[in-house]
Amino acid sequence: MNAMELFSLIGKTAIVTGGASGIGEAISEKFAIHGATVHILDCNREMGEVRAAEMAQRKLPTTFHPCDVSSEKEVGAVVSSIAAGRPINILVNNAGVAHVGTVENTSEADLDRLYSINIKGVYNCLRATIPHMKRNQNGCILNMASIAAELGIADRFAYSMTKGAVLAMTYSVARDYIEYNIRCNAISPARIHTPFVDGFLAKNYPGNEKEMFEKLSKTQPIGRMGKPEEVADLALFLCSDNASFITGTNFPIDGGFIKLNS
């Protein structure tokens, strides 16, 4: 049996929030390659339409839905439209925003923004999708947490708070819906090389991007940043039938950061 057969998602419908770029894009592509019908939810309409068109050219079944996950109304409408076509098998709560700052320089507006997307956005998607999975007596949910949910990282007060909440929601959902054959797990990445990292370096270290990139890479014990594709590989396994005995678990993908830095 080859990898395509071993991790097949043929016949499954997957929703990936924040699926138009970075880790979400990698997961969307990986799932589609392995046979899933993928629905990308993203607030960036231009980027989402480009990604969906690229996937269509490669004959990978992908549909883009412009959606602000912080809006219960928008999420409910999109999920209902997807469920009307075929059962929803997989939900990946990947959409999220970052913030750099301590409690003193995190404004109320900053906190509200992170809460609305990183916490309320996950809640909205869970609340809209789980009833459909319950009716089908089957489902797999994967939440994107972070190593910041497990240990203190400097200047990540609000971000760490939201990802801690994502982890708590993961455990709660896994417990509440295990009788419906719904699994729920989390992935906690360390520093992954995404467009966000490049944008952060360009904004804060103009002219010194390469030097700072190397410095940030070396904070990982393994000596480099992770790749979105590596996170996507883990997501594929956890959402495949090969992981049917796994639920209520958090999976760090961190280059040794948690254990080797503690």
pLDDT averaged per 10 residues in sequence order, the chain, 262 residues: 80 97 97 98 97 95 97 98 96 96 96 98 98 97 96 93 98 98 98 87 87 89 95 98 97 93 66
Paired strand residues for 139? 182
**Is 213:220 a contact under the CB 8 Å cutoff?**
no
**Is 181:139 a contact under the CB 8 Å cutoff?**
yes
Domain spanning 3-190+228-260: CATH superfamily: NAD(P)-binding Rossmann-like Domain (3.40.50.720)
| Residue labelled with tokens 């490049």 | 198
Alpha helices in the chain (DSSP H): 3-6, 22-33, 45-57, 72-85, 108-114, 120-136, 157-176, 195-204, 209-217, 228-239, 257-260
Structure tokens, 120: 């309320």
**pLDDT at residue number 21:** 95
Q: How far apart are CA 78 and CA 41, in angstroms?
A: 8
SS3 156: strand
Q: 70-98 b/e with 16+ CB inside 10 Å = b?
A: bbeebbeebbeebbeeeebbbbbbbbbbb
In this prediction the pTM is: 0.95
Question: In the 8-state DSSP scheme, what is residue 20?
Answer: T
On the CB side of 113, how many CA atoms lie within 13 Å of its CA? 10
The structural domains of the chain, with segments of one domain joined by +, span 3-190+228-260, 192-225
Q: What are phi and psi of 152, to 5 degrees?
A: -75, 125
| Residue labelled with tokens 């404004």 | 107
**pLDDT at residue number 262:** 58
| 200 burial level (CB within 10 Å; 0-12, 13-18, 19+) | middle
Active site residues: 159
Structure tokens, 220: 């990982």
Paired strand residues for 16? 40, 92
Dihedral (CA of 257, 260, 261, 262) sign: positive
Q: How far apart are CA 102 and CA 221, in angstroms?
A: 25
- Dmax (CA) for the chain in angstroms is 55
Cα–Cα–Cα angle for 21, 116, 213, rounded to 5 degrees: 40
